[in-house]
Amino acid sequence: MYRGGNIMIKKGYITLVFSILLLFLGTLLINIKNNTLTNEAFIPAGILSVIFIVVQIISVKLRKNADNYLLSLVMFMSSISAIMILRLKPDLYMHQIVWICIGLIVFLIIVTVSDRLLELLDYPYVLGFGALIIICSVLIFGTDIGGNRNWIILGPIQVQPSEFAKLLIIAFLSSFLSENKNVLVLPSRGWKFIHLPPFRFLAPLLLIWSASILMFVSLRDLGSALLFFGIVVIMTYVATGKKLYVAIALFFFSLSSYISYLLFAHVQTRVAIWLHPWDDPMGSAYQIVQSLFAFGYGGVFGTGYTSGFPRLIPEVHTDFIFAAIGEEFGLIGVTFLLLAYLLLFMRGIKAALLLTNEKYKLMAFGLAITLLLQTFIILAGVTKLLPLTGITLPFISYGGSSMVSSFISLGLLYALSSKER
């Protein structure tokens, strides 16, 4: 294992070098395009590169047996994030650099204190109650931004609480499901072919599910609702192996979604944009139509970095950054990015399979599946496979809340990958 660990570390440093080269190359091309090529233009890229190197060295010393691929892959994604924000929103470039640096520092803090944090898994109801408080805080103090009422404004900072609530939900499910697995697998009550455990064991899961429905209806936050619902259903199935829970959850979620469609105009609007975007291509469906044009214009090889027209898409630096990547890097660039996400997910699953502690195993699996699920939801929305959801692409979209919460997830997964190996 130690030899394998050394090989992993070496390959991680190779990926780090590639990420730094990508960062400087992107900066060079942008400044040549804008005729602003100066030494000062490379200072942000230099600072971020130094942070990359320092974090890589410290993390290896802190957790020698950890899966170093996890960090190196995320650094590659962070480099893509930086150069894309520089391309799409130059005035937000320094902000994104700062958020990536903050995320990396938070990552190191999480790795350092991870043992203390994982002790919280012994208090599942505290974690679940904390998640509900965060979700309900948006109902009271939330502000409508971009059609979703899922933000809280704290002075100059806009915080998206759902990004942090999902971490508490994963921790709660990891603890609750591991402690009550036997009761959930061997139900004691039934009606015909439906056999369920006592209500007090189902109540916490139903409460989290209800919170996702509440976010969907009250906050118009379809993305977080789908993400929370998916986390609960998938983790419950993985822990119990009971398909009945999945079927029941899907039935009630579908029923609630249909009722919401009948009662609320904003839900009808989202569905109409999804099904018939060409009915109003210059109005409510403008974003998704421009996104589809971007993918079509990019083709297989892309237009080339700085040679496309991604700024025609509103909010391209947040929800639609994947469309910008598809236009300028084409199908080939998109494929490499998707492979990076898939590899990150696979490394997370491998870390989970190597763990023997049931709570740690479910926690690692929950973090990995959440990353993949969030990526799928936003990509499905941008490509019109699903109604547009409004969540961010992990480690790439602009946004402080998303970046910090993603690095917290990475820190926990990185720490878990070093246990019991």
Query: For 38-81, how does the pLDDT look when each residue is reduced to its tens digit (9 = 90+)?
Result: 888 899 999 999 999 999 999 989 888 888 889 999 999 999 99
| pLDDT number for residue 208 | 77
| pLDDT number for residue 216 | 62
Q: For residue 13, how many other CB atoms are within 10 A of its CB?
A: 15
Which residues fall within 8 angstroms of residue 384, CB to CB, at 6 or more apart?
Answer: 274, 277, 288, 291, 292
| pLDDT number for residue 215 | 65
pLDDT tens readout for residues 372-390 = 999 999 998 899 888 877 7
Question: How far is it, in rounded angstroms, from Cα 378 to Cα 141?
Answer: 25
| pLDDT number for residue 41 | 86
Contact 87, 317 (CB under 8 A): no
Q: Is the pLDDT of residue 188 over 60?
A: no
Question: How far is it, in rounded angstroms, from Cα 48 to Cα 104?
Answer: 10
Q: Is the pLDDT of residue 238 over 70?
A: yes
Predicted TM-score of the model (pTM): 0.90
Q: Which of 5-14, 141-150, 262-271 has the highest mean pLDDT?
A: 262-271
Selected residue with higher pLDDT from 139 and 29 = 29
pLDDT tens readout for residues 140-185 = 777 766 656 677 777 677 788 888 888 999 999 999 999 888 777 7
Q: Is the pLDDT of residue 288 over 50?
A: yes
* Range of weakest confidence among 133-137, 184-188, 406-410, 411-415: 184-188
Percent of the chain with pLDDT over 90: 45
Rounded to the nearest 5°, which phi and psi values hold at 123?
-125, 70
Question: How far is it, in rounded angstroms, from Cα 31 to Cα 273?
Answer: 37
Residue type, 218: S
Question: How far is it, in rounded angstroms, from Cα 343 to Cα 348?
Answer: 9
| pLDDT number for residue 121 | 92
pLDDT tens readout for residues 120-129 = 999 988 998 8
Confidence of residue 224 (pLDDT cuts 50, 70, 90): confident
* Range of weakest confidence among 80-89, 203-212, 236-245: 203-212
The residue-averaged pLDDT of 333-361 equals 93
Angle of helix 321-354 versus helix 68-88 axis, rounded to 10: 170
| pLDDT number for residue 1 | 43
Selected residue with higher pLDDT from 191 and 176 = 176
Question: How far is it, in rounded angstroms, from Cα 294 to Cα 289?
Answer: 9
